[in-house]
Structure 1
């Protein structure tokens, strides 16, 4: 039964991120900013967020944001099994890593939490497939060749879905999202650290709304 539940959670996380088409990558220095940030993202039309473990406030921020039932919150920049435990205990519904770590992937699978490991090469994509995973983070996207590289990698790995992150913005996100292999794009521009530090939540909401609009499939009302 656990395997079925794990698959259901993974499919639910993939469906939520895919429906949003944008995964904001959040860095919070203070957990007190978590609640107003969650409000701003929801006002802007996003229902998912990745809170990175780049600061000491990550776990508490995930805990606060996870209290919103309409927001799917995951943990990003997860580098160790211990951080997986912290993230899941705080309420993270999925885990994202910057590179492929067999130990982190294994711990996520032990706990039944969906994981989107970072990949940069075909070798790492093959490792993800060997681990039973078919959704990966492509990072850092622009520096690795962007859309052209994803097209090349997607050709032999036809079952894999990518979440390109790194250098993605409103100017190029439509190019990424036009690729059938791309599930969603990750980005920081709508949750820029300077906006959070200044408490400019209306601007976060406005940028989020603009990003959602830019990511909307062509022809969709």
Structure 2
């Protein structure tokens, strides 16, 4: 019990002191190995660690992040937003609908919610404020509508979930698009209510 407390206290202390994360995770792991599994050969630990991350499915994560970075730095986000604005921007509260549709379109291509917030936020936030939307509502709409990137296929979250659980990724995508569209409609109702109020 004292040894376990020592391992946990070491991890917490290193975390509070600001050590790098690989040290915060690695040093307590080595201590655990020495305290509890001293007879286990060191190469077995390395094999277990490498075997745990040696999956081609995990390559989806850096490729989605790369796609999001390329889209954010290029003109793709602006063009997607312009397309959505040309379809729904003429309605009352149109910039709010543009945020929702643009976030869903950008998120479906990038698969990353933080990248969607970063790319969409700097473009549409000033326009939402100029259109008369409240500050808190504008920020909340941008952040929450970007979360549809977790649902609308292809989504990093659904791919990793399908890989870990053995579920069909295609079925997860079908369920995700239905949930994403429902969530988008709920956000649209909120925008309509806010547009009438302000």
Q: Same fold (TM over 0.5)?
A: no
TM-score relative to the length of structure 1: 0.25
TM-score between the two structures when normalised by the length of structure 2: 0.27
